[in-house]
């Protein structure tokens, strides 16, 4: 048992787990830390689809799992305001959340992040965007953005992995935690799919969106207290860069929130990728959902901008499976498209008809997701979500005219699997003593920067006890 005993075990090697390990070792180099990750080391994370143009069903998927989690191949935007990307201000207070975001940002800079920040020196232009947003009943959330870029973000996380290995963090890749051992109301151990058991009195579940469903079952099996979270589900919108030019140049990512007139549902823009490409993410059991990337290098830039429109739905009892709800809608889309992503023009969406290859070819707008299947989103989404999306697009058209063009592309389904809301205290400790839950997989955060800041915070809570 002595060889399998650690001071801290971290489940998951996404940003929250990485920054937790980083802070623990910065303050206590002597700590024995084990990080267990179901995916691959970052140097082994390669998607064959980039060469073959066709998903070959890697298990586990290298886009969503592995060191740095989904963040390794994301567009790599760091939101530098506590108003965006999670619930840290609610748990820690606004000022403390801001301080932690600054600290995590300084670590990204230390490992090579771009020093340029968008949205801080365009007061006149931002006032004009805000004026248009107000006139359309949209709320503009102002947030400085540091853009890593997909390819540069990968390099930064590679340096972080090398650093953690150098300072003695033990990492086990391609290893799945099958269960957590709990005795007398406190955490004791983890068991892996390889039959090994490891022991620690302090454990951090940093499983990300990919692991949210797994952790929800762990919570259910062990009676760990949770709440029903919010379901975020919608589409990825793609337009020509010219349509989004003013917003892209002055904000890079315009974060806009709308409460729809018909149903009063909250819809928000999310993850804007200027000159980017639409991409597919594959989750466990081959579930395909849509996402987007943006690169720093001119070599990879396109003529299109893409962004997500997400409808937020809160449910009441007896409903208690928001992750399954999102998966069911995504699976319906996959069923219609033979496991691929569905695409529909906004013109066809409004008219309630299926997009065809012939009508898609008429467009000025060329899809960047080449294997997307033309189809009909009304066969996938509930009527309410369909209405919410259309009303949001019409409102956005008043801020940046052209978004409501017939040729605008809508890809589905985009869904965020962070709806397993684990009940935690200010130390991010669950109802099981010594078991901490952080990041997107616990529905604490919804983005890279707050997840990273969350990792620092939980590390400091642990350091006060060991």
pLDDT score recorded for residue 52: 66
Residue 455 lies in a domain: yes
What are the residues facing 177 on neighbouring strands? 192
Question: Residue holding tokens 């692991």?
Answer: 211
Tens digit of each residue's pLDDT (9 = 90 or more) over 145-180: 998 887 889 999 999 999 999 999 999 999 999 999
Q: Which domain holds residue 93?
A: 2-113+148-227+420-463
Please give the mean pLDDT across all residues of the chain: 93
pLDDT score recorded for residue 44: 93
Same domain flag for 236 and 307: yes
Residue 153 lies in a domain: yes
What one-character DSSP code corresponds to residue 445?
Answer: B
Question: Residue holding tokens 């200027």?
Answer: 274
Same domain flag for 238 and 344: yes
Residue 118 lies in a domain: no
Q: Residue 92 in 3-state DSSP?
A: helix
Q: Full-prediction pTM beyond 0.85?
A: no
The CATH number that applies at residue 104 is 3.50.50.60
The domain total for the chain is 2
- DSSP sequence for 266-312: EEEEEEEETT-EEEEEE-GGG-EEEEEE--SSGGG--SEEEEEEEEE
Would you say residue 1 has pLDDT above 70? no
Mean pLDDT of 402-414: 97
Least-confidence region, from 275-279, 320-324, 410-414, 434-438: 320-324
Same domain flag for 328 and 220: no
Q: How many CA atoms lie within 13 A of 431 on its CB side?
A: 12
β pairing state of 435-437 and 202-205: parallel
């Amino acid at each position: 048992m002595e060889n399998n005993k650690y001071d801290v075990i971290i489940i998951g090697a996404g940003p929250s787990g990485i920054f937790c390990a980083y802070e623990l070792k910065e303050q206590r180099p002597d700590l024995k830390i084990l990080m267990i990750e179901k995916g691959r080391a970052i140097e082994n994370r390669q998607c064959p689809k980039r060469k073959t143009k066709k998903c070959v069903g890697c298990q586990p998927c290298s886009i969503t799992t592995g060191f740095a989690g989904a963040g390794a191949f994301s567009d790599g935007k760091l939101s530098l305001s506590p108003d965006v990307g999670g619930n840290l201000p609610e748990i820690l207070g606004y000022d403390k959340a801001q301080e932690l975001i600054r600290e995590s940002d300084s670590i990204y800079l230390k490992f090579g992040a771009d020093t340029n920040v968008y949205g801080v020196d365009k007061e006149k232009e931002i006032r004009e965007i805000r004026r248009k947003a107000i006139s359309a009943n949209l709320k503009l959330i102002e947030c400085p953005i540091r853009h890593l870029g997909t390819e540069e973000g990968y390099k930064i996380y590679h340096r972080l992995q090398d650093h953690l290995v150098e300072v003695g963090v033990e990492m086990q890749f391609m290893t799945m935690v099958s269960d957590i051992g709990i005795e007398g109301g406190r955490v004791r151990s983890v068991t892996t799919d390889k039959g090994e058991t490891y022991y620690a009195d302090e454990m951090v579940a940093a499983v990300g969106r990919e692991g949210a469903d797994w952790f929800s079952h762990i919570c259910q099996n062990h009676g760990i207290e949770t709440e029903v979270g919010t379901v975020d589900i919608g589409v990825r919108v793609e337009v020509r860069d010219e349509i989004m030019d003013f917003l892209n140049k002055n904000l890079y990512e315009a974060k806009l929130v709308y409460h729809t007139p018909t149903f009063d549902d909250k819809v928000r823009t999310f993850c804007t990728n200027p000159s980017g490409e639409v991409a597919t993410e594959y989750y466990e059991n081959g579930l395909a959902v849509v996402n987007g990337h943006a690169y720093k290098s001119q070599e990879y830039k396109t003529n299109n901008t893409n962004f997500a429109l997400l409808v937020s739905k809160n449910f009441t009892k007896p409903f208690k499976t928001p992750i399954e709800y999102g998966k069911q809608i995504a699976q319906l889309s996959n069923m219609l498209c033979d496991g691929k992503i569905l695409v529909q023009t906004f013109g066809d969406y409004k008219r309630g008809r299926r997009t065809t290859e012939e009508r898609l070819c008429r467009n000025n707008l060329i899809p960047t997701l080449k294997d997307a299947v033309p189809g009909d989103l009304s066969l996938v989404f509930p009527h309410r979500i369909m209405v919410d999306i259309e009303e949001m697009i019409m409102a956005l058209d008043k801020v940046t005219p052209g978004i409501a063009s017939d040729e605008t592309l809508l890809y589905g389904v985009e869904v965020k699997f962070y709806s397993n809301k684990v009940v935690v205290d200010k130390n991010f400790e669950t109802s099981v003593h010594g078991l901490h839950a952080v990041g997107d997989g616990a529905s604490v955060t919804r983005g890279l920067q707050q997840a990273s800041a969350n990792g620092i915070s939980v590390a400091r809570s642990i350091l006060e006890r060991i």
